[in-house]
Amino acid sequence: MNLAVKEKTVNFSFIIPALFIFTIFWVYPFFYTFILSFQENDLISPPQFIGWSNFKVVFTSPDWWSSMYNGAFITFWALTFQNILAFMLALGVDKIIRLRKFYRIVFFILPVLSEIIIGLLMKQFLAGEPIGRDVLNHLLHNIGLGFMTESWLGTERVRLITALVHCWKGFGWAFVILLAGLQSIPEQLYEAARIDGASAWQCFIRITFPLLMPVITLVVVLTILGTMQAFAMILALTGGAGGLTTVPVMVIYDHLRHNIAGLAAAEGLILGIILVIVSFTMFFISKKIREKYGVLSS
C-alpha cells in the first residue's frame, strides 16, 4: 500500500514542472483576465471593482468597433483572396512533377520569417521616402506601367494594401496544409472515376472537394483565428495609420501600454469569446456538410 502511494507520487512528480509553469502562466492569467475585466486597474494604485462598466465602454467605443471592422476586413481578404490563391497553387503544385520542391520551399519562406521583418520590409518597399516616388512605383515606371503608380500606403489604399500584405505573408501556410491534404487523397479514386467517364471538373467537385472538406475547414478556422489576432506585421507596416488599419490586438496593446489594464482585459475577453464561437460554429457547419454528403471524416 505504502509502496503504491510512493510510486504514484514519483509518477506525479514528473509533471510537476510543467504543471507549475502552466498554472502560473496559463491557469492563473486565464481566470485573472475575468477578474481584471471587472476592475479599474492602472497598475499603480490598488484596483477597484467597477462591475460591467469596462464592457459598457468597450461595446460603445467606436474605436474598438472600427478596429474590429478593420480586422474583419483583413480577414475577409485572407479568407477569399489568400485561401483561393493558396488552393490554386496547391492544386497546381500537386499536378506538376518538376520544380515541386522548389515551389514548396519558396512559398513557405514568408511564414517562416517574423512579422516584424515582413512588415518593415514591405513598408520600405511600398512607401519609402520620398513619398510619391517610392520603390514599387519606381519599378512600375521602369517596366512601363507608370499609370499604375499609387500612394500605396496613403489613406485611400492603406487598408486594402495591409490586407494584401497580410495575405502575401500568410498564403504559404494555407498552401502547405492544403497540399498535404491533396496528397493524402488516394490516386485510385481518380482512376476509378476516370474509367467511369468522369471529366476533370466532375473529379474535382465529387472527389477532391468533399474529401478535402475537413482540411478546408481547418484552414478557414486557422485563417480567422490568425487574422483577427494579427498585430506585429501591421504595427511594423503602418503603425495603425491613424485608425485606418488599427486591429483589435493593437487596441488592447495600446491600452495596456497606457496602463488601462481593466479595459484591455475586457476587450481581450470579448474578442476571445467571439473567436471561440466562430471556430466552434465552423467545425459544426463542416460536420453537417460532411454528414449531408456522406463523406467520412478523415
Partner 1 sequence: MYYQAKKVVIIIVLHAFLLSVALSCIFPFLWMINVSFKDQKEFNSDYGLKFPRRLNWDNYKEVILKEGFWRYFLNSIFYTFITVLLIVLVSSLSAYSFSRLQFPGKNVIFYMFLTAMMIPLPAGFVPVYILLKQLHLLNRTGYVLAMTNMGLSLSIYLLKTFFDQLPRDLEDAARIDGCNKLRIWWHVGLPLVAPALAVVVIFNALNVWNEFVLASLMFTNDNLMPLQVGLMEFSNRMVTQHTLIMAALTVAALPIILLYVRMQQQFVKGLTAGALVG
CA distance 152 to 168: 15
Q: Which residue stretch of 59-67, 76-84, 183-191, 224-232 sits at the interface with partner 1 (rule: CB under 8 A)? A: 224-232
| CB within 8 Å of 88: residues ≥ 6 apart | none
Burial of 31 (0-12, 13-18, 19+ CB in 10 A): exposed
Given 1, 2, 14, 294, the residue binding partner 1 (CB under 8 A): 14
C-alpha cell at 161: 494594401
Given 1, 3, 109, 296, the residue binding partner 1 (CB under 8 A): 109
DSSP 8-state class, residue 295 = P
Q: What is the dihedral of CA 72, 74, 75, 79, to 10 degrees?
A: 140
CA distance 260 to 181: 44
Given 50, 185, 193, 218, the residue binding partner 1 (CB under 8 A): 218
CB 109 within 8 A of CB 172: yes
Nearer to partner 1, 192 or 273 (CB): 273
DSSP 8-state class, residue 147 = G
Given 74, 167, 216, 228, the residue binding partner 1 (CB under 8 A): 228
CA distance 257 to 237: 19
DSSP 8-state class, residue 26 = I
What binding mask, one character per residue, do residues 142-171 give for partner 1 by CB under 8 A, x or -?
A: x-------------------------x---
Q: Which helix (H) or strand (E) holds 48?
A: strand 48-49
| CB within 8 Å of 158: residues ≥ 6 apart | 152, 238, 241, 244, 245
Chain positions 178 to 207 lying near partner 1, rule: CB under 8 A, are 180
Chain positions 251 to 290 lying near partner 1, rule: CB under 8 A, are 252-253, 256-257, 261, 264-265, 267-269, 271-272, 275-276, 279
> At closest approach, how far in Å is the CB of 91 from partner 1?
9
What binding mask, one character per residue, do residues 74-103 give for partner 1 by CB under 8 A, x or -?
A: -----------x--xx--xx-xx--x--xx
Chain positions 41 to 80 lying near partner 1, rule: CB under 8 A, are 41, 43
Given 6, 56, 138, 288, the residue binding partner 1 (CB under 8 A): 138
Nearer to partner 1, 28 or 209 (CB): 28
> At closest approach, how far in Å is the CB of 70 from partner 1?
14
# residues contacting partner 1 (CB under 8 A): 94
Given 162, 173, 216, 241, the residue binding partner 1 (CB under 8 A): 173
